[in-house]
């Protein structure tokens, strides 16, 4: 299933647009993966696992281009995908805060985990008591 979503400029920070009105992101949903494209170019990828009809676990997600970080793409994509999962009956989404090894471009796992916690909190997730898991209840 493919959904084109028109997203207003205000949702993006520090993005130069030739068309100052909106972005058009195409979300391609497949079983347990979502790929997002803008003007045919890959922007965002997410893999998740449906533990049950109502519970999903995010396995991984990333922006395809390192230069897109911090511009709002991840937030917009995460919010749209969680909205679509909610429409399918998912009521709880969980995800690890980080991984043992930090991705390229980070000084170490601690910096990466702090960044991820901030991102997840910004998109409506809460951190678990021991701090290694985030969750979002969709109501």
Containing 126, the helix (H) or strand (E) segment is strand 126-127
Residues 63 and 74 sit within 8 Å (Cβ to Cβ): yes
What CATH number is given to the structural domain containing 67? 3.40.630.30
Instruction: List the one residue out of 68, 19, 9 whose CA is nearest residue 41.
Output: 68
Instruction: Look at residue 24 and give its three-state secondary structure.
Output: strand
Confidence of residue 135 (pLDDT cuts 50, 70, 90): very high
Q: Domain range for residue 16? A: 2-137
Is pLDDT above 70 for 35?
A: yes
pLDDT in tens, 5-19: 666 555 555 455 455
Q: How are strands ordered across the β-sheet holding 133-137?
A: 2-8, 22-30, 33-38, 41-50, 55-63, 92-96, 133-137, 126-127
**Residue 99: predicted pLDDT:** 63
CA distance 135 to 56: 10
Q: What string of DSSP letters covers 41-70? A: EEEEEEEEEESSSSEEEEEEEEESSGGGTT
**What pTM did the predictor assign?**
0.81
Instruction: List the one residue out of 101, 103, 90 whose CA is nearest residue 136.
Output: 90
**Residue 12: predicted pLDDT:** 58
- Total domain count, the chain: 1
Confidence of residue 101 (pLDDT cuts 50, 70, 90): low
**Residue 20: predicted pLDDT:** 47
Percent of the chain whose predicted confidence (pLDDT) is above 70: 76
Q: Are strands 33-38 and 41-50 parallel, antiparallel or unpaired?
A: antiparallel
């Amino acid at each position: 299933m493919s959904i084109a979503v028109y997203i207003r400029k205000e949702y993006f920070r520090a993005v130069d647009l030739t068309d100052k009105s909106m972005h058009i992101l195409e979300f391609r949903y497949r079983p347990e993966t979502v790929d997002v494209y803008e003007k045919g170019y890959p922007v965002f990828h997410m893999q998740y696992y449906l533990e049950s009809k109502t519970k999903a676990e995010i396995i991984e997600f990333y922006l395809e281009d390192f230069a897109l970080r911090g511009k709002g793409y991840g937030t917009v994509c995460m919010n749209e995908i969680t909205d679509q999962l909610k429409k399918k009956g998912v009521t709880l989404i969980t995800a690890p805060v980080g991984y043992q090894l930090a991705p390229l471009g980070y000084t170490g796992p601690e910096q990466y985990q702090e960044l991820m916690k901030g991102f997840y909190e910004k998109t409506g997730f809460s951190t678990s008591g021991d701090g290694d898991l985030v969750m979002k209840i969709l109501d």
